[in-house]
Structure 1
Amino acid sequence: MSDLIIEQDVMQEHEVRRYFEIWRESVIRSRHTITAVFLKEADSTQSKPNENNHQITAFLQSKIRKTDLLFQLSDGNHWGIFFLQSSDVEARAFLKRIFAILKAERKFQQIALKASITEIRNNTVTFEDLLEKNKQVLTENGQISWSVVEVHDYGVQPIELVKVSIIEQNAIFRQVLESTLNQIVIPHFTLEVKVYEDGYSFLQSDGYKTGHMHLIVMNDILPRKNGLEILHILRHMPNEKKFIIYMMSERNSEGAALNAYEGGVDEYIVKPFNLRLLEAKIKRTFARFWL
């Protein structure tokens, strides 16, 4: 009895659609990848479920994680699995593991599967298109047992707008920073750069109240509203997680840096500094969003 797999109710195609629509939007908001795996018996040519279907369903249920979602398509011959916040690398590892088990264990000797993998990195795909595309590639792959086909139609990452505010009272250095940031090329992001001569003009602009990701590059000493005051205001806003704050300072001391980091800055840069260093730090910051 120890190797008996008990099948529980599995979700059906129509039940999963509304969940997918929610997850698809989270790909944009949270930049979390969804990967879909579809499976079919390699030698299944019947239009209705065959005798192995219940055994396959129960086996798949026993191998997925609690965060994964298994469902059966309405034709009864395909299974789908959504791996939330997972890439195609993890999906390939999952298929390699379950294929090895099915091929090795005698009780599964009548079963041979084939699969497709689709990594979803944008919200352009509909549930119906996703299903039809994967059913199509599985059909085109014929009766090749244990094959895995990858669908790349929905893996293009969207370009995200990032607002950039430079707050620096020195006009020449302000122009240099503006030119530098306007020339930075960051994959998956486009920067919209605006400059301000002091903290007060920045706060009057209201540009920081949007829901866009917002990079702030500001001096700690500013007229009317200094950098630490702005830092305090931004870190107490409801959308404070949208801000990436770089603070520039002429104070090269551990105390000044510690005070800035405790206040919520992401980077503390001592003047004078190499502009290439600033560019490298910014590129590294945004690269982390897609690692």
Structure 2
Amino acid sequence: MNKLIIAEDILQEHEVKGYFEILRESVIRSRLTMTAVFFKLANSSQGTDIERNQVKNQISAFLKSKIRKTDLLFQLADGVHWGIFFLQSSDVEAKAFLKRIFAILKQEREFKQIALKASIAEIRNNNVSFEALLDSNKQKLANEDQPTWSIEQVTDYSVQPTEQVKVSIIEQNAIFRKVLETTLNHLDIPHFTLEVSTYEDGYSFLQSDSYKTGHMHLIVMNDILPRKNGLEILHILRNMPNEKKFIIYMMSERNSEGATLNAYEGGVDEYIVKPFNLRLLEAKIKRTFARFWL
């Protein structure tokens, strides 16, 4: 029997597991989707050993020529399955890629011996092992009723995890502070749970040490506060090594262009002039968090 010929630089199944585990965790840290695509050679038993090996090598070379530099192509140990990890891509983008390369393979005479079928698995959480991912997709592709050039879908790993967000309200007025607390406690944001704390001034917020945790942290604060005002807190937070975890909303009674520019240049994400409609605040917060899952 002839030894299987592999296209140069194609990773093999045993080499990919470590890469996958790193990529899987980056899905959680970066909140970006990864999609895995698997192919199966539908007519792998046809022809001589040499002809079959040539077809497999041709498929590897073709797939390698069509992926981006950020995508990871590999061949499974059985020699009749291939996989691609598409980074920062959804199943919609993966389907478009499959339709495009299937059209090329079916039209070009040099690929007339090739017939493929494919499966797609969008990954939005880290509750999947490399072995489970391979098994679930290989089972889909083992279905004899699945015609060639068709695309199956595995949906087991597409549920987005829920992330806890710290919320700090820093407002001197006790009544308005309570109104804000009630509003944010009742705010429903998909994929996030809010843990709301309130402070009457900047000093008590800094003494709490709540801002030193690793959680994403939404700050809703007034610009004028006793004992450490809002601009001082803004400066402290934006000079922390992990300052990107903070989403900072500043409330102010000052509606001047200078005050607004000063706040944005200092690093606020939203500047809201008092008085304001609470529904506007809710809409802004929902839109901010929706961007993490676009």
Query: What residue in structure 2 maps to residue 120 of structure 1?
Result: 123
Task: Give the TM-score of the pair, scaled to structure 2.
Answer: 0.94
List per-residue Cα deviations over 1:110-143 (Å, max 9, x = no partner). 1111000000000000000000000000002545
The 1-side partners of 2:248 and 2:156 are apart by 35
* d(CA) in 1 for partners of 2:78, 2:41: 13
Per-residue CA distance 1:197-222 (angstroms, 9 max, x = gap): 00000000000011110000000000
Residue of structure 2 equivalent to 1:244: 247
The answer to whether 1:40 aligns with 2:40 is yes
Q: Does the CA-based 8 Å contact 1:36-1:83 persist in structure 2?
A: yes
Partner of 2:105: 102
Which of 142, 145, 154 is the matching residue for 1:151?
154
- Judge conservation of contact 1:118–1:151 (CA < 8 Å) in 2: yes
SS at match of 2:142: helix
Query: How many residues are aligned here?
Result: 285
The reply on whether 1:165 has 2:144 as its aligned counterpart is: no
Distance 1:9 1:188 in 2: 39
Task: State the distance in 1 between where 2:175 and 2:86 align.
Answer: 51
Alpha-carbon distance in 2 for matches of 1:126, 1:11: 18
Q: Which amino acid aligns with 1:32?
A: L
Q: 1:205 to 1:59 in 2, by over 3 A?
A: same
1:12 paired residue number: 12
Judged with a 3 Å threshold, the aligned counterparts in structure 2 of structure 1 residues 268 and 141 are, in CA distance, closer, same or farther, namely farther
> Structure 1 vs Structure 2: percent identity of aligned residues?
80
Moved more, 245-254 or 134-143: 134-143
Partners of 1:45 and 1:206 in 2: how far apart?
65
Deviations 1:45-68 (A, max 9, x none): 58x993321111111111111111
- Deviation, 1:152, is 0.4
Gaps of 5+ in 2: 1-5
Specify the alignment match of 1:23 in structure 2.
23
1:16-74 superposed Cα distances (whole Å, 9 cap, x missing partner): 0001001111111111111000001123358x993321111111111111111110001
1:199-255 deviation per Cα after TM superposition (whole angstroms, max 9, x unaligned): 000000000011110000000000001000000000000110000000000001111
- Take 1:27 and 1:21, find their aligned partners in 2: how far apart are those partners? 10
For residues 1-291 of structure 1, what are the structure 2 equivalents within 5 Å? 7-44=7-44, 50-51=52-53, 52-142=55-145, 144-291=147-294
Amino acid at match of 2:240: M
Amino acid at match of 1:93: A
> Which residue type is aligned with residue 34 of structure 1?
M
C-alpha distance in structure 2 between counterparts of 1:243 and 1:141, whole Å: 52
Amino acid at match of 1:201: S
